[in-house]
């Protein structure tokens, strides 16, 4: 039984490595290079990103303050129902505004691209989704998705536990080979 699991793990590892090595390494940093942006487009994107980030930070801060005030209201022995409901409405409105701002920023950025650049961007995103799906399938046989390994510190008694949040898939496979367990 153990030999079969080892063989299966080796086959999946080899297959995953072959699939991933066939795909180009795509990161956010090299997108502008592959889109052949003009200097004017780069500057406009930089300005848009700055303004968008600035607004997003302000909106997130407002949302955090509203949630804090809601928690304070709920911590009272007998909270005022109308105040709690109005605070919930305020939180919902702030969340909606934050999401709308994010979508508006994305649409504004798309308007800066030519039709050819938008087509290239769609292909880049499609390849990135395929890459993430492949990675999640490769680690699904262990009972968890790869993004779950990165987000959580997995610790069970009897095993040498480690924090996988900062592990790349390659480092994770190496740690598993070395005999450390993340499950």
| Residue 55, Cβ density class (10 Å: 0-12 exposed, 13-18 middle, ≥19 buried) | middle
Whether residue 46 is found in the same domain as residue 87:
yes
Q: Structurally, how many domains does the chain consist of? A: 2
Whether residue 104 is found in the same domain as residue 183:
no
pLDDT at 140 over 80: no
pLDDT at 22 over 80: no
Mean pLDDT, all residues of the chain: 76
Whether residue 47 is found in the same domain as residue 8:
yes
Helices (H), 112-145: 115-140
Confirm whether pTM is higher than 0.75: no
**Mean pLDDT of all residues in 97-121:** 91
Whether residue 129 is found in the same domain as residue 94:
yes
Q: pLDDT at position 53, please?
A: 93
| Residue 87, Cβ density class (10 Å: 0-12 exposed, 13-18 middle, ≥19 buried) | buried
Q: What is the pLDDT of residues 59-106, one digit of tens each?
A: 999 999 999 999 999 999 999 999 999 999 999 999 999 999 999 999
Residue span of the structural domain in which 71 resides:
2-141
Q: pLDDT at position 81, please?
A: 94
Whether residue 20 is found in the same domain as residue 34:
yes
Whether residue 28 is found in the same domain as residue 102:
yes
């Amino acid at each position: 039984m153990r030999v079969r699991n080892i063989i299966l793990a080796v086959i999946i590892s080899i297959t995953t490595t072959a699939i991933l090595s066939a795909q180009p390494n795509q990161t956010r940093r090299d997108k502008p290079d592959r889109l052949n942006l003009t200097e004017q487009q780069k500057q406009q994107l930089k300005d848009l990103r700055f303004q968008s980030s600035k607004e997003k930070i302000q909106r997130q801060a407002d949302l955090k303050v509203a949630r804090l005030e809601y928690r304070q209201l709920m911590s009272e022995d007998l909270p005022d129902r109308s105040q709690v409901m109005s605070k919930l409405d305020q939180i919902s409105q702030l969340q909606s505004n934050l999401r709308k701002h994010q979508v508006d920023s994305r649409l504004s950025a798309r308007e800066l691209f030519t039709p050819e650049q938008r087509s290239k961007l769609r292909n880049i995103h499609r390849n990135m989704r395929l890459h993430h799906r492949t990675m999640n399938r490769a680690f699904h046989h262990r009972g968890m998705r790869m993004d779950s390994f990165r987000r959580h510190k997995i610790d069970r008694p009897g095993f040498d536990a480690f924090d996988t949040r900062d592990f790349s898939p390659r480092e994770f496979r190496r740690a598993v080979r070395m005999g450390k367990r993340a499950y």
